[in-house]
Amino acid sequence: DLGGQVQAGKFREDLYYRLNVVGVKLPPLRERVEEIRSLSERFLQRHAERMGLPRRHLSQRALEVMARYRWPGNVRELENALERALVLSEDDAIEPDALPEPVRAAAAPEPLPSALDPDDLSVKRAQRVLEADLIRKALDRTGGNRTRAAELLELSPRALLYKIREYGLE
């Protein structure tokens, strides 16, 4: 956030206003998971043509793995991962094993929330714990954006707000 850097005195104000003629807010890739497929297709086509390789596509499993990864390097990291996968893959469909290790590691099944008591067989209590955990993860993934979190959870924003209050997640 350059505006914050200007206020903190860490970025020149005159340069900020010179660069900020038209501000564009582009959310990180982790908040635009639905774009991974289309971006991937474009990158795979571009790099296959450039390298003279046959055109390949991502398997459904590879897409699922990529959707779970947080992409700290954003679109550039996605492009690099796909270029690597294109070179390593011998089949028409790129499988998860051709993806970089950090991306594959994101697909490991998550352990159950620690708040679950293995001796407690109550479905209602387990459901509450899991639901609260999913809401926390969705809010974390979207940087606290409740509208986007509601979309990820397939809830209405109003239902999400109710559950946030119910579970004391404010």
SS3 of 40-52: the string is HHHHHHHHHHHHC
DSSP class of 31: G
pLDDT value, residue 44:
97
First to last CA, the chain: 24
pLDDT value, residue 110:
56
pLDDT value, residue 86:
96
Residue 38 has pLDDT above 60, yes or no: yes
Q: What is the mean pLDDT of residues 74-85?
A: 97
| Greater model confidence, 27 or 119 | 27
Q: What angle do CA 89, 107, 38 make, to 5 degrees?
A: 60
List every span in the chain annotated with CATH 1.10.10.
Answer: 123-166
Per-residue tokens: 40: 């991937």
Per-residue tokens: 18: 């010179």
pLDDT value, residue 19:
86
Q: Which residues contact 132 (CB under 8 A, 6 or more apart)?
A: 163, 167, 169
> Is residue 122 very low, low, confident or very high in pLDDT (cuts 50, 70, 90)?
confident
Amino acid symbol at 167: Y
Please provide the CATH number assigned to the domain covering 123-166: 1.10.10
Largest CA distance in the chain: 63
List every span in the chain annotated with CATH 1.10.8.60.
Answer: 32-105
Q: What is the mean pLDDT of residues 65-89?
A: 95
> Is residue 141 very low, low, confident or very high in pLDDT (cuts 50, 70, 90)?
confident
Per-residue tokens: 150: 């509601």
Residue 108 has pLDDT above 80, yes or no: no
Please provide the CATH number assigned to the domain covering 32-105: 1.10.8.60
